[in-house]
Structures are given as C-alpha cells and as structure tokens.
Structure 1
Amino acid sequence: MLRPAVHKYAPVAADILLDHLLFKNWNRYVDKDYDEFADHIYQLLLSQLNFFPDKAKFITERMVNGLWLNQYKSIEGIQDVMTRMNRKATFEVDFNQSVQVFTDQFEIFEHHFLSFFDDMFIAAQQWTNLQSEMK
C-alpha cells in the first residue's frame, strides 16, 4: 500500500507507521505504562553510552534529549519523523505521503497490525513458556 507513495522506502515508512499502531494498542500487549517504558529505555541507553561508537552516542543523546519515542503517540509526531526522513533520503521522496496513505486506510493498517501482533504475541508467550519448562 505504501510502495506507490514512497517506493523503495516503503519498508522504512511502514516501520515508523506501525510504531504508532504499537503505541495506540500498547495496553493490549504490555502491562507497563508507555511513558514509564520510554523513560526506562532512555535511562538504559544512557547507562550504556560508553559502549557506543561516537556516531551512535551522538544520535542516542539526540534521541533521549528529544524524547523521540513520544513522537509515535500522534499522527503529528509521525509527520515530524517523516519530515526528518525526507532530509535523509538519497533520492527524491516525500515520506509524508505515506502518512496520508496511512490515515486514509487506517482501519486496514490496524487490522493487519493487530492480526500479526496478536499471532506474534502468542508465539512469543509459547516460546517463553517452553524455555521455562526446559530449565
């Protein structure tokens, strides 16, 4: 659905858009509050910063200071992410077109996301249970 809008960057756009759906459906899969989770991730990243290459340190610090995980909460935040992606693209593309496709076909995206994520969640639980039984 995204390929006509953003061509070879469709998988990248899909990843960002599906992150929004993960946030929207967060409580369906996770007991921990999203903001608490994001804060935990930021602290974890900062605590390991010394192990990162210099370029990764710079990007990680920008991510933490800019609270990038909060951008997945809203369509406006997703549009901001896509605008930044436009600047990084190596050929002419408008990532914001993917947001339009996403909002126009939101129910279809969400249906496929929930179907996949429900199956993945069950498989992960089964694998975890198997690992516990093997101990």
Structure 2
Amino acid sequence: MNYLAHLHLSGESEKMLVGNFIGDYIKGNKYLQYEEEIAKGILLHRQIDSFTDAHPLQREARLLFRPEFGLYSGIVVDFIYDHFLAKNWSQYSTLRLPVFAKKVHAILLSHFSTLPLRVQGFLPFLIQHKRLVSYASVDGIIQSLKIMGKHSSLPSKSEEVERILLENYIELEINFAAFFTDLLDFVSEKQGIEIKKPDLMTGL
C-alpha cells in the first residue's frame, strides 16, 4: 500500500502513524533504534505490505500492469489503490480527507527530527503540494507517479498507467473495495488496531 492507506491504517496512535509512514525507509532490525510505539508502526507497515503482496485481489490487479511494468506492477497498484481510497474516503473515515491530511502533516512535523533524512527531504514537498488530497483525482495520482519515476527506478510510463487505469476503471475500483475490506479486517482483528469508520446509514 502507498502513503495514504498506511496512514489511515495506523489508528489513533500518533507514534504508530509516524512509524507506519517511515516503514519503507527502515530496513532490517533498525526499527529497534526507535521508541516502542514508533517501532510498532514500522512493523505494522511491514505486516500490511506482506498481507497486500500475498492477497489474490492485489495479484489480480497487478496482472493488468505487468506487461508494461513487470516487477514494478505492485508499486503501480499501490498508487492506484490510494487513488480509490482517496476518492471514496467518506466511506472509510470519520474525518474529511483535507482535515485528515492536515492532522497527519501536523503529527509528522512534530516528529520531524525522528524521521529518516530521505523522509525529511520530501515531507515539505508532500505537504506543500497537498499530495494526500490530490490522490482523489486521476491527474493527482498520475502526477505522483511521474514524480516517483524521476526519483526512483520505477519506469517513467505514467501515460500507460493512465490508459490502463481508465480502460479498467470500474473493475479496479471493485477490486480495491473488496481488497480493502479484507485489509481493514486484518488490521483490526489480527493487529488489534481500531479504525474509526463512518456510520453510512446516518452520515456520521
């Protein structure tokens, strides 16, 4: 999963959120260098990624992107899933997405000195350009992929991602909804993390 999903799946613990956000940048047993709650967030990040990579629905979505992206197809699907999460945010969170993003920004800034240097480097950009909120649009997610393509080994084929996404949009959205239901259950039941959900019957 990408940033938005990891942040949402951290529950109410600020330090767990910090750990979950930086999880990709803490390798091996280096999580032991962090205080307990942040370390738990790092391990949660790894558990979410392992669950995601092994899930048949995520594997099914990867097949659409594999001809163009090969081993990087999973990264593309992670971004696509964040798009559908942002687009349908009101189904999953009691906070509006801009409010949630501002809350996350404040938490990460308050722990800025704890963040790895690479994260310190891109966090101001993520905040300034409202990346988390931008995921709700196709243009926003494609722009994020373009940026990642410039700063990583991800193939710079954002136009192909957009084409495949739009050609399979309904199927991918259905795929995400079913997958994310399973992921929420995994985090809640197996990891013991409470994720506050809106009451869709009352709008609360």
Which of 111, 123, 144 is residue 81 of structure 1 equivalent to? 144
**Contact 1:26–1:34 at 8 Å: present in 2 too?**
yes
5+ long unaligned stretches in structure 2:
1-63, 194-204
- Alignment of 1:34 with 2:97, yes or no, is yes
Cα displacement (A) at 1:95? 3.0
5+ long unaligned stretches in structure 1:
130-135
| Alpha-carbon distance in 1 for matches of 2:115, 2:183 | 30
- The one-character-per-residue Cα deviations of 1:4-34 (angstroms, maximum 9, x if unpaired) are 1222221111111110000122111211111
> Which residue in the other structure is 1:64 paired with?
127
**Which entry has the higher C-alpha Rg, 1 or 2?**
1
> Which residue in the other structure is 1:6 paired with?
69
Higher helix share: 1
**Contact 2:72–2:154 at 8 Å: present in 1 too?**
no
> Which residue in the other structure is 2:169 paired with?
106
| Alpha-carbon distance in 1 for matches of 2:150, 2:176 | 28
When the two structures are aligned, how many residues end up with a matched partner?
129
| Alpha-carbon distance in 2 for matches of 1:38, 1:83 | 21
Distance 1:121 1:91, change over 3 A: closer
Give the structure, 1 or 2, with the largest relative contact order (CA under 8 Å, sep 6 or more).
1
Q: What SS does the corresponding residue of 2:76 show, helix, strand or coil? A: helix
Cα displacement (A) at 1:122? 3.6
| Alpha-carbon distance in 1 for matches of 2:107, 2:131 | 15
Counterpart code for 1:3: R
Counterpart code for 1:69: L
**Contact 2:150–2:156 at 8 Å: present in 1 too?**
no
> Which residue in the other structure is 2:78 paired with?
15
**Contact 1:23–1:72 at 8 Å: present in 2 too?**
yes
**Please, what TM-score do these two structures have when normalized by structure 1?**
0.83
> Which residue in the other structure is 1:55 paired with?
118
